[in-house]
Chains A and B, each alone.
Chain A
Amino acid sequence: MNDYKSIALAESRAYVFKIILRLSGYLAIAILCGVFITLASKAALSLQETGLSFFYTSTWDPVRDSFGAFPFFIGTMVTSVLALTISLPFSFALAIFLGEYLKQGRLSNIVSTTLDLLAGIPSVIYGFWGLFVLVPLIRDFQNMLGIVPHGVGIFSSSIVLALMIVPYSASISREVIALVPQDLKEAAQSLGATQFEVVTRVILPYAKSGIFAGILMSFGRAISETMAVTMLIGNANKIPTSLFSPANTLASVLANEFAEASEALYLSSLISLALMLFFITAIFSFVGRWIIRRWMVNG
């Protein structure tokens, strides 16, 4: 009798446990939906007031209640594209270096551990370093070129951003390159291909879409990066006219102005920027992961 009871008890506990598991899974969905709904509902006011012109007007002047997100969109895209362009050859070289030339051994361990550790350095510290080491250098450089020596600006933030995303993008490319079947490489080598030819004719064609996905994901990373860019971009709410001019990104304008926004429309306009940022990064990471998954299945 007692045994039956305890079995029934255990079964009902197991049942409750399964329900808890399922509910926590649903909670993850609810959190993401909650994030989206909160942003959308708080952004509604600004989108009603400003309409679609919010996205293409280029004046951001909270005092006169004119809110246009275009300069920040451009600022975000320019810094991220520039950072990605700077970092790409390096991270790719590093991935090849670690994946093909230096597969094991002490040096390989040191390099990859260093990369992992550097990926862990907080963004605010990169910004701090950039402010004190890089910005003076850039200022000298600008003096040499004879342009206004701001020091801070798109160029400075892109360089630091590039340094920051290298560990991330190198580790993705490395993983992708590691997925290229060994027998393909060996087949090419046995036909007399040099390492260079193996890389350009076997690895690259095979890992093409994986690498592309990695680039998209790194791009998403660069776009969402906040602190270092906020400290280095110079915070100017206008469309940048040159690579050295101060600007603002979606993330940096949020970091700078959100705490000061007391007016409803101002606050709502800032949250519209956050919504934009949310969508852009979500799309990049979604497409990146989708490509990688499809590539891994079809191989």
Chain B
Amino acid sequence: MKLKNSLKSRLAKDVAFKIVVGVLSAMLILPLLFILFYIVKHGSASFSWGFFTQTPVQVGETGGGVSNAIIGTLMLIGTASVFAIPLGILIGIYLSENRQSKVAEFTRLCVDTLQGVPSIVMGIIAYAWIVMPMGGFSAFSGGVALAIMMLPIVTKSTEETLILVPDSLKEASLALGVPYHSTILKVVLPAGKSGIMSGILLGVARVSGETAPLLFTAFGNPFMATNLFKPVNSLPLLIFNYATSPYEDWQTLAWGASLLLVLFVLSLSILAKVMVKK
């Protein structure tokens, strides 16, 4: 009798637990989905041809677009990629090729720590390294800040991918007399291509939404700017500035920019996922 009761209570507990877990999960997923829905609803309202082709207008005028921020974001991502992709891949190769060495171990620690450095601190670093010596805010300094943030992501995914490439592949190539650098560049790297590509996409996705490192580097600019050494606008900066402004027209632009940015970041991460699956 007692046994039966305890079995019952155990089963009841199990069911209760299952319900609690399910309910908590649902309670969490719903607001998150609601955020996504809210962005889509408010953002799509401001999408128009002019949104993509015009620059923001002054307060009081209607219309205007975010073309300068789109160009600025692309410039910043481009600059960051130029630095972070080649260097990140090289460091990744170094780490996967020297798994036992103490120096590589320390390098790995540094890369991990670098990944954890708060983005706002990166902005200050880029300010101290680039903005102060060059005497002004610039797209270039923002790109450097983003590059340092992107570097660990590219490095880690390169390392993790290359570790999975079978050693026999590399050994076979070396045994055929292929020199070390050609073996790495033409045999090992291509074998890990999809993993590295997805790492790059994730890195770009991560930095393209960053605002904090750009506050004192790219700084923002209400006009179209294509000079790498002048301040530029970017989508996240525009969202921040217009979201906290009291003008409804600007807030509408900010919702549009948010949706655009979300679409961009999400398609990059989906692409990255698809690549890994291949």
A interface residues, Cβ below 8 angstroms from B: 10-11, 13-14, 16-18, 20-22, 24-29, 31-35, 38-39, 42, 89-91, 93-94, 96-98, 101, 111, 113-118, 120-129, 131-133, 163, 166-167, 194-197, 199, 220, 223-227, 231, 251, 254-255, 258-259, 270-271, 274, 277-278, 281-282, 284-286, 289
Contact between chains at A93 and B20 (CB < 8 Å): yes
Contact between chains at A282 and B181 (CB < 8 Å): no
Q: List 11 A-B contacts (CB under 8 A).
A: A14-B179, A27-B87, A31-B151, A94-B29, A111-B25, A120-B265, A121-B39, A128-B255, A251-B118, A251-B212, A277-B120
**Measured CA separation A281–B31 after assembly (Å):** 28
**Measured CA separation A255–B261 after assembly (Å):** 21
From A253, which residue of chain B is reached at the shortest CB distance?
Answer: B120
Within 8 A of A (CB), among B214-268: 215-216, 219, 236, 239-240, 243-244, 251, 254-255, 258, 261-262, 265-266
**Measured CA separation A27–B155 after assembly (Å):** 12
Stretch from B48-56, B99-107, B191-199 that touches the partner: B99-107
Contact between chains at B113 and A285 (CB < 8 Å): yes
**Measured CA separation A21–B94 after assembly (Å):** 5
Report B224 CB to chain A, min CB distance, Å: 22
Residues of A within 8 A of B119 (CB): 224, 226
Contact between chains at A258 and B215 (CB < 8 Å): yes
Check A28/B18 contact, CB under 8 A, given A20-B90, A123-B211: no
**Measured CA separation A126–B107 after assembly (Å):** 34
| Contact among A32, A97, A111, A122 with B210 in the assembled complex (CB-CB below 8 Å) | A122
| Contact among B38, B103, B113, B124 with A282 in the assembled complex (CB-CB below 8 Å) | B113
Residues of A within 8 A of B104 (CB): 25
Report B152 CB to chain A, min CB distance, Å: 8
Is B176 part of the contact surface with A, judged by Cβ < 8 Å?
A: no
Report A10 CB to chain B, min CB distance, Å: 4
Residues of A within 8 A of B1 (CB): none
Contact between chains at B209 and A124 (CB < 8 Å): yes
Check A117/B266 contact, CB under 8 A, given A24-B90, A28-B110: yes
Residues of A within 8 A of B125 (CB): 34-35, 38-39
**Measured CA separation A124–B213 after assembly (Å):** 12
Is B66 part of the contact surface with A, judged by Cβ < 8 Å?
A: no
Stretch from B6-14, B57-65, B74-82, B163-171 that touches the partner: B6-14
Check A17/B181 contact, CB under 8 A, given A90-B27, A231-B243, A282-B113: yes
Is B33 part of the contact surface with A, judged by Cβ < 8 Å?
A: yes
Residues of B within 8 A of A167 (CB): 32
Contact between chains at A39 and B124 (CB < 8 Å): yes
Residues of A within 8 A of B219 (CB): 259
Contact between chains at A125 and B258 (CB < 8 Å): yes
* Residue among A14, A32, A220, A282 having the largest count of chain B Cβ atoms under 10 Å: A32
B151-181 toward A: CB 8 Å interface, digit per residue (1/0)?
1000100000000000000000000000111
Residues of A within 8 A of B18 (CB): 101, 195-196
Report A184 CB to chain B, min CB distance, Å: 18
Known: A17-B184, A93-B20. 19 other contacts (CB 8 A): A90-B28, A91-B28, A93-B21, A111-B25, A114-B32, A120-B209, A121-B265, A123-B211, A125-B209, A127-B240, A129-B39, A132-B243, A163-B31, A166-B28, A231-B240, A259-B219, A281-B117, A285-B112, A286-B112
Residues of A within 8 A of B254 (CB): 128
From A220, which residue of chain B is reached at the shortest CB distance?
Answer: B116
B263-278 toward A: CB 8 Å interface, digit per residue (1/0)?
0011001100100000
